[in-house]
Structure 1
Amino acid sequence: MQDCRILITRPEPENSLSRERVRAYGWVAVPLPMLEITPVEDINKKAIIRAQIFDIDTFDYVIFVSKNAARLACDWLDECWPMLPINVHWIGIGQGTTQTLLNEGVPALSNPGHTTEALLEWLKPARMKDQKVLIVRGEGGRPELANKLKERGAKVSYLSLYDRKKPIYYAQTFFMLPDINLIWVTSGESLLNLSEYVSLHKPEWKTLPILTPSIRVNQQAKEMGWINASCANGADDNSLIKATEFHTGK
């Protein structure tokens, strides 16, 4: 399967970066983002974000849930903090998120895993009572991280930097795509959007190998009728490439 055609469903700009990695391995990358990331543009919301960024030194932990959260937060930090505040624990969920922060000069740590659940397990030894935690994310999102930290006595706030939207595609989009051999999906929300489109336009794709980032999302895929879903144990390119190598026999 040297010419394996892989459907990449990441949002941009990460989709383009993943396609470069896929092509470097000799595979064919087919882009079809299943999320659109839109930075907050509302003037009032941006004023609130700016105020939160200026107060970021009052937090003990700042946790970034995605590469988009890290990328956009770094833009705000550059604007508001010429030198980063000290005594803040910067944490990225997953290696890709953490590396995004490190590339921008933020001394972030990452748990050995790649999920919210793994992060919570990693933080078990830490004293969280009365610790101030800021979770940097998009609008909405899973509440589990905040809820579990609050149960341990942490004081949790959110910093929402972007909206996630379902891209609009039509039947012609799917008819024009080449034959696909394997699919990368990197979040539960992307999986849901993909599944809705596939049910309408490409039901035969439900038999294709689909790589998911976590056990939770893998179980969701099976419940949605994907009969060949596998967990890549990470949403980062390295994890997905390793899982792709297993499927292609490369």
Structure 2
Amino acid sequence: MQDCSILITRPEPENRLSCERVRTLGGTPVPLPMLEIAPLEEAKQQAAIRSQVFDINEFHYVIFVSKNAVRLGSDWLDACWPMLPIGVHWIGIGQGTTQALLDEGIPALSNPGHTSEDLLDWLKPVKMKNLKVLIMRGVGGRTELGDKLEERGAKISYLSLYERKKPEYNAQTFLMLPDINLIWVTSGESLHNLSEYVAQYKQDWKTLPIITPSSRVNQQAKDMGWINASCAHGADDNSLIKATGFHTGQSND
């Protein structure tokens, strides 16, 4: 895969980090984020977030759905809790999110999966009845995880920290891009936004290999007409790199 030109659609700041990683492996990264992450900044929104974070010690589990949730959530924790509260179990969905928690000094529980569905399987032995669970996420995120935990008796709360927005591109943006050999997408929403732009400006991209983070998103890609979609079984760089075929000399996380 040396000199492979890869369109990387992660939001910033993760896009830049993924591009650096691909470049070190001899690939040619082409950054084109398909999501923008906008922290909630209105005074009323921030007051609501602060109130929930001050009460975070009341929860048995705090689940972060993404690296962006970790990045913003850890800032709020630093502001509200000079020392992390005792007795909270911190969990990240996916290897990358879990590692991001550890990098922030938050002792996240290690779980082997990459998706909400994997996390639910991992938590099956845990008696969730009457346990309080806080899910840190973006506005309007998927509710499947919370719904399933509620079915098992858990008491679910959500803390929205950011909005996801579709970046604005035009025909000139796509005209100026180099030839692309491969595409990385890391969420269903990124795939949806990319597919809309491709329908407008780059219909031939539908024949390119596209690597998706999960079976769910991979099926979405096929339903949208991507004829060469494959699944990395993870949205972290290591999973995507392994699925791409780079030889790093290291085992995948």
TM-score bracket, normalised by the shorter chain, equals over 0.9
Could you tell me which residue of structure 2 aligns to residue 197 of structure 1? 197
**Aligned residue identity for 1:188:** G
Could you tell me which residue of structure 1 aligns to residue 30 of structure 2? 30
Would you say 1:105 and 2:105 are equivalent positions?
A: yes
**Aligned residue identity for 1:171:** A
* 1:30-69 superposed matches below 5 A: 30-69=30-69
Provide the aligned length of Structure 1 versus Structure 2. Answer: 247
Give percent identity, aligned residues only: 77
Q: Tell me, what secondary structure is at the counterpart of 1:6?
A: strand
TM-score (ref. length: structure 1): 0.97
Q: Which runs of 5+ in 2 are unaligned?
A: 248-253
Could you tell me which residue of structure 2 aligns to residue 2 of structure 1? 2
Partners of 2:8 and 2:183 within 8 A in 1:
yes
Deviation (angstroms), 1:246: 6.4
Aligned-residue CA RMSD in angstroms?
Answer: 1.0
Partners of 1:93 and 1:110 within 8 A in 2:
no
Could you tell me which residue of structure 2 aligns to residue 222 of structure 1? 222
Could you tell me which residue of structure 2 aligns to residue 167 of structure 1? 167
CA distance in 2: counterparts of 1:75 and 1:98, whole angstroms: 16
Would you say 1:240 and 2:247 are equivalent positions?
A: no
* 1:72-87 superposed matches below 5 A: 72-87=72-87
Could you tell me which residue of structure 2 aligns to residue 207 of structure 1? 207
Could you tell me which residue of structure 1 aligns to residue 153 of structure 2? 153
Alpha-carbon displacement from aligned partner over 1:163-216 (angstroms, at most 9, x marks no partner): 000000001100100000000000000000000000110000000000000000
Alpha-carbon displacement from aligned partner over 1:33-89 (angstroms, at most 9, x marks no partner): 000000000100100100100000000000000000011000001111110001000
CA distance in 1: counterparts of 2:246 and 2:24, whole angstroms: 17
CA distance in 1: counterparts of 2:44 and 2:110, whole angstroms: 32
CA distance in 1: counterparts of 2:144 and 2:161, whole angstroms: 19
Deviation (angstroms), 1:127: 0.8
After the TM superposition, list the runs of 4 or more consecutive aligned residues in structure 1 that deviate by more than 4 angstroms: none
Q: Tell me, what secondary structure is at the counterpart of 1:235?
A: coil
Deviation (angstroms), 1:141: 1.0
Q: Tell me, what secondary structure is at the counterpart of 2:91?
A: strand
Deviation (angstroms), 1:111: 1.9
CA distance in 2: counterparts of 1:162 and 1:56, whole angstroms: 18
Partners of 1:94 and 1:110 within 8 A in 2:
no
Could you tell me which residue of structure 2 aligns to residue 125 of structure 1? 125
Q: Tell me, what secondary structure is at the counterpart of 2:245?
A: helix
Q: Which runs of 5+ in 1 are unaligned?
A: none
Alpha-carbon displacement from aligned partner over 1:96-128 (angstroms, at most 9, x marks no partner): 101111011000013211000000010000010
CA distance in 2: counterparts of 1:175 and 1:47, whole angstroms: 44
CA distance in 2: counterparts of 1:126 and 1:3, whole angstroms: 47
CA distance in 1: counterparts of 2:178 and 2:136, whole angstroms: 37
Could you tell me which residue of structure 2 aligns to residue 138 of structure 1? 138
Deviation (angstroms), 1:6: 0.2
Could you tell me which residue of structure 2 aligns to residue 12 of structure 1? 12
Partners of 2:25 and 2:246 within 8 A in 1:
no
CA distance in 2: counterparts of 1:113 and 1:53, whole angstroms: 27
Q: Tell me, what secondary structure is at the counterpart of 1:134?
A: strand
